[in-house]
Amino acid sequence: MSDLAGNVLKNNATLVGILGTWVVTIGGLLWSVASTNATYDLRISHIETELTNLDARLDVAETFRMEIRSDLAEIKTDLMWIRKDLEAKN
């Protein structure tokens, strides 16, 4: 009887050990998946923020380009007037 009780306890201890190992393994897998998901979420968030900032900078650059184009058109008009004025005086 004592051999039978010893074998049952060994089998129970083995079963508990195996179940504990599986719980730790599955927990580690879930932790890894959650960590990877959080990392990707953070990266996507940073990319979205950077994209928003780049879009704002692009808008500013486009506005600046339009101002330069307008200024160049005014300079061209002024140069044409000066040229006509010089031709009229000669």
What is the C-alpha to C-alpha distance for residues 7 and 5, in angstroms, rounded to an integer?
Answer: 5
What is the C-alpha to C-alpha distance for residues 78 and 67, in angstroms, rounded to an integer?
Answer: 16
Q: Residue 90 has what pLDDT?
A: 74
For 77, left (φ over 0), alpha (ψ -120 to 50), or beta?
A: alpha
Question: b/e map of 66-75 (b: 16 or more CB within 10 Å)?
Answer: eeeeeeeeee
Series of mean pLDDT values for 10-residue runs along the chain (90 residues): 60 87 95 94 96 96 96 95 90
Q: Residue 50 has what pLDDT?
A: 97
